[in-house]
């Protein structure tokens, strides 16, 4: 498969992933806004911080390293999918070990919430751990689908699972609000069960079909999806296993950095469960665009860079056509996330108070919520750039470089946790976001230095994507001033007519910024039109 074909498939995958995340976030946005009217902020804090941290930690540590390693090898004919699937099935026993340890910590080492305010904490911990293990059952199928770019499968499976979870949660919150943690625990189990069931049904029907044979799908029978051995051949590819181990050491540190503020809140009790609930809601609102736009692009183009580039070499040692395509794609991706991130930073400042008031009423807008969301709007820009730069770096690094980078991640993890604790004691919840900003800036710096060395003796300079046009910078600066003045004059305590005026001012400013992008960032516009729209054929920008 040529680099252009890989780019086309990766672009299609990114487009459908973005669509999926938009739908995912829209549904959860509506569901959370609805449930806020029926449950306490203490319950939201326990579910969204304490229990979801258990879930994300167990799942991430059990599968992330396997995902990255097993997707690095592509899906070419020289690959042994039997050995790869055997390796992937190890995520389940690893999950059982992690689950046993984490459940003990969550039940007996952490402070339990007040049973009068948030009952049923113990059973909820067990159900969330069980939901994590159920999701790990589908990991081999997920990797197969991702490696062979079965994008509609992921879209359909996660859509159905999310829909079932939302309907289940909203129905029980309305009919039996006294259920508390039982509702959210059962809803999480419904989600993972539906997700795995969708993947299973698809592959049972797909494997061995005419469509699978036409696409050259390597698995010929349903039984071949299960772990099995072959005479005279190792059960797993040991080179792939060693790469998995390198990623595992890195994933442990990455999880600390990704969920660092939740670990500090959970283990050091620097905020009450109610304050944790408010912070988590603001965090979810602030990261909405990052999660539904940046993360799917990062995941999809990691597959692209992994297939096009050979690990461990620089630009001179690679096939030049492939490096050219990779450099152009990296430059366009950097320009895309910088432009989107700057727009979010500028308009997030002036519209944070209004957004929180509409979403959760005075529960969110009366306290520190607007300040948190404004600071988070700036953090989104760093989050976006880091995602794309690390996406390239992790796809290009050799195993030895990955091992060395683990030391960098360890230092960053320790400094981040220390900064989070100190800044939170000084500035409250804002300290979490500022610590994240500093940590993200250091990670970006490391990645930029690697990319600069990678391309230094080549004619390509993908880091040019970090420099927007001067006209766009001026348009954003003018919009920042105008929308800030509009907020001070029209929002948010003077009634709906003046709020609508404030919204109209923002719409006009945003239209001007988008028009400037269309006129001055022509290469970026061409890239989005040809590579990130579902149904278009990828081609070189």
Tokens for 169, please give them: 């949660």
Q: What is the 3-state secondary structure of 178-216?
A: HHCHHHHHHHHHHHHHHHHHHHHHHHHHHCCCHHHHHCC
Helix (H, G, I), strand (E, B) or coil at 149: coil
Q: For the chain (length 541 residues), average pLDDT per consecutive 10?
A: 60 61 66 75 88 94 88 62 88 95 95 88 96 95 84 81 88 85 94 95 88 82 84 80 83 76 83 82 77 75 81 74 86 92 93 85 77 91 91 85 81 84 84 89 92 84 90 96 92 82 95 95 88 51 34
- CA distances (Å), origin 143, targets 85, 158, 310: 9, 15, 20
Cα–Cα distance for residue pair 432/411, rounded to 1 Å: 18
Tell me, what's the pLDDT at 539? 40
Cα–Cα distance for residue pair 76/258, rounded to 1 Å: 32
Decide: 488 and 501 in contact? Cβ < 8 Å: no
Answer whether the bond into residue 492 is a cis peptide, omega within 30°: yes
Q: How many CB atoms lie within 10 A of CB 105?
A: 14
Tokens for 90, please give them: 């190890």
Which of 362, 497, 329 has the alpha carbon at shortest distance from 37? 362
Tell me, what's the pLDDT at 288? 74
Q: Which residues pair with 476 in a beta bridge?
A: none
Tokens for 456, please give them: 């230094």
Dihedral (CA of 43, 46, 51, 57) sign = positive
pTM of this structure: 0.71
DSSP state string for 31-98: HHHHHTTTS-HHHHHIIIIIIHHHHHHHHHHHHHHHHHHHHHTTT-TTS-HHHHHHHHTTHHHHHHHH
Helix (H, G, I), strand (E, B) or coil at 233: strand
Decide: 23 and 97 in contact? Cβ < 8 Å: no
Determine the length of the chain. 541
Q: Helix axis angle, 273-286 relative to 260-268, nearest 10°?
A: 180
Tell me, what's the pLDDT at 541? 34
């Amino acid at each position: 498969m040529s680099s252009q074909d890989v780019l086309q498939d990766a672009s299609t995958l990114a487009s459908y992933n973005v669509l999926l995340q938009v739908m995912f976030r829209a549904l959860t946005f509506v569901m959370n806004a609805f449930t806020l009217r029926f449950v306490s902020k203490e319950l939201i804090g326990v579910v969204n911080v304490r229990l979801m941290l258990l879930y994300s930690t167990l799942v991430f540590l059990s599968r992330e390293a396997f995902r990255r390693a097993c997707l690095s090898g592509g899906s070419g004919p020289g690959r042994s999918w039997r050995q790869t699937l055997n390796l992937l099935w190890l995520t389940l026993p690893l999950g059982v070990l992690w689950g046993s340890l984490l459940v003990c910590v969550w039940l007996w080492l952490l402070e339990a919430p007040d049973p009068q305010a948030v009952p049923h904490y113990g059973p909820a911990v067990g159900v969330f751990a069980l939901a994590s293990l159920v999701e790990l059952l589908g990991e081999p199928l997920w990797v197969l689908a991702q490696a062979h770019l079965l994008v509609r499968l992921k879209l359909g499976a996660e859509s159905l699972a999310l829909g079932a979870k939302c309907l289940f949660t909203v129905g029980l919150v309305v009919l039996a609000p006294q259920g508390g943690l039982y509702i959210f625990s059962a809803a999480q189990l419904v989600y993972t069960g539906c997700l795995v069931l969708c993947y299973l049904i698809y592959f049972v029907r797909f494997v061995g079909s005419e469509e699978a044979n036409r696409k050259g799908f390597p698995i010929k029978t349903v039984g071949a999806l299960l772990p099995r051995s072959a005479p005279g051949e190792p059960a797993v590819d040991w080179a792939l296993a060693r790469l998995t181990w390198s990623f595992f050491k890195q994933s442990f540190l990455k999880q600390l950095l990704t969920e660092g503020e939740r670990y500090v809140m959970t283990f050091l009790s620097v905020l009450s469960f109610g304050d944790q609930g408010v912070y988590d809601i603001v965090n979810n609102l602030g990261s909405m665009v990052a999660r539904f736009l940046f993360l799917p692009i990062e995941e999809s183009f990691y597959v692209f860079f992994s297939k096009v580039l050979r690990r461990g070499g620089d630009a001179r040692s690679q096939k030049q056509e492939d490096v050219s395509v990779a450099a152009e794609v990296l430059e366009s991706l950097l320009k895309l996330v910088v432009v989107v991130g700057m727009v979010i930073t500028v308009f997030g400042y002036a519209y944070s108070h209004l957004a929180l008031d509409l979403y959760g009423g005075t529960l969110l807008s009366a306290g520190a919520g607007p300040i948190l969301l404004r600071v988070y709007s700036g953090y989104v820009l760093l989050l976006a750039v880091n995602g794309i730069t690390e996406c390239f770096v992790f796809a290009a690094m050799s195993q030895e470089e990955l091992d060395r980078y683990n030391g960098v991640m360890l230092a960053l993890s320790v400094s981040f946790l220390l900064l989070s604790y100190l800044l939170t004691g000084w500035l409250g919840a804002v300290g979490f976001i500022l610590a994240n900003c500093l940590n993200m800036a250091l990670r970006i710096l490391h990645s930029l230095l690697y990319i600069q060395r990678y391309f230094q003796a080549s004619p390509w300079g993908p880091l040019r994507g970090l420099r927007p046009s001067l006209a766009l910078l001026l348009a954003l600066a003018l919009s920042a001033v105008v929308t800030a003045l509009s907020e001070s004059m029209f929002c948010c305590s003077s009634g709906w007519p003046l709020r609508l005026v404030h919204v109209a001012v923002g719409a006009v400013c945003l239209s001007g910024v988008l028009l400037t992008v269309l006129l001055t960032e022509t290469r970026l516009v061409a890239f989005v039109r040809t590579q990130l729209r579902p149904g278009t054929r990828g081609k070189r920008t």
